[in-house]
Structure 1
Amino acid sequence: MKRVTPPDPALSGEAAHFRALEALYAAAPINTLFDSTLEIPSAGIARIRFTIHPDVFHAGGAAHGTSYFKMLDDAAFYAANSLVTDRFLLTTAFNLLLTKPLREGPVVAEGRWVSGHRRVFVAEARLVDADGEEAARGTGTFMRSQIPLATLPGYRTA
């Protein structure tokens, strides 16, 4: 089980929002299935460091596409939601391109906001393996939901 570290009460504004999103990621039940950590270094940028283990392999001995999709979607999502402080975004569409099999080991999902400021956001992400090679990329469309971030377990800015 992952340990959720509460945000530093001395933080405020943008930094507090980023730490609260990181805590929200860590608190999501789905993330107990993945050895992963979210980092939001700045607005519109998100990185997820994770490790591929053999328990996510398909019959061909490499990571199943579900791992690719989850990490690409999450990195793009958090890059976009880093720009929205009041509402949880929802994925409305996601396109992905798988270019290389992922084997056991560390991977980084790099997400980047592309466009949108009000209701709909577009962000992209890519997976980079331990050799620095891109294994996949994707682009997502995300829409503001009616769910206030402040009501979600794990999201705490103070």
Structure 2
Amino acid sequence: MPPETGAVEGEQAHFRALEALYAAAPINRLFESALEIPERGIARIHFQIDERYFHAAGAAHGTSYFKMLDDAAFYAANSLVTDRFMLTTAFNLLLTKPLKAGPVIAEGRWISGQRRVFVAEARLIDAEGDEAARGTGTFMKSRIPLAGLPGYRATR
């Protein structure tokens, strides 16, 4: 439990710093989304799909699926690593339902790995509560220190 002064320490500080890093990434200016890391190995991205992300047939383009699945799995894995930024080395997608305009949640979960290579999965849940896609990725520790990245800071 955090101290009564309101300071965030340890694991929770790392989670808040990762959330700030996500918010600071330039790519996320293109997506109305917010990351939350409630615990080790779990990440959720709440985002809004609208017509800007549609392909010619009136549903979300696959780039939106990939972006949110990759990010949710990535942050679930990086929640276990406090010193280095991770990199996606592979990602497999299964798209099962077209996404229409509305809120979507990407839920990421760490599966395995604790040294250099991690495996995590994610799924997209649409406004009706249906799974629209799932994916599994592998992530590798890079040589990039988290502490040196603009945006990586505890904000709460």
Q: TM-score, normalised by structure 1?
A: 0.94
Equivalent-residue separation in structure 2 for 1:42 and 1:32 (angstroms): 25
Deviation at 1:9, TM superposition (A): 7.1
The structure 1 residue matched to 2:123, chosen from 126, 135, 156, is 126
1:139 equivalent in structure 2: 136
The structure 1 residue matched to 2:146, chosen from 145, 149, 158, is 149
Q: How does 1:38-49 map to 2 (within 5 A)?
A: 38-49=35-46
Aligned length: 151
1:3 equivalent in structure 2: none
Structure 1 regions of 5+ residues with no counterpart?
1-7
Equivalent-residue separation in structure 2 for 1:64 and 1:145 (angstroms): 29
Q: How does 1:1-158 map to 2 (within 5 A)?
A: 10-157=7-154
> How far does the alpha carbon of each residue in 1:64-104 deviate from its partner, in whole angstroms, 9 at most, with x for none?
00000000000000000000000000000000000000000
Equivalent-residue separation in structure 2 for 1:60 and 1:116 (angstroms): 39
Paired residues of 2:20 and 2:154 also in contact (CA < 8 A) = no
Percent of residue pairs identical: 79
**Structure 1 stretches of 4+ moved >4 Å:** none
2:108 aligned partner, one-letter code: G
Structure 2 regions of 5+ residues with no counterpart?
none
Equivalent-residue separation in structure 2 for 1:157 and 1:143 (angstroms): 23
1:24 aligned partner, one-letter code: L
2:73 aligned partner, one-letter code: A
Rate the CA distance shift 1:130–1:14 in 2: closer, same or farther, 3 A.
Answer: same
Equivalent-residue separation in structure 2 for 1:143 and 1:54 (angstroms): 34
**What RMSD over aligned residues (CA atoms) do the two structures have, in Å?**
1.2
Q: TM-score, normalised by structure 2?
A: 0.95
2:28 aligned partner, one-letter code: N
2:47 aligned partner, one-letter code: F
Equivalent-residue separation in structure 1 for 2:43 and 2:16 (angstroms): 12
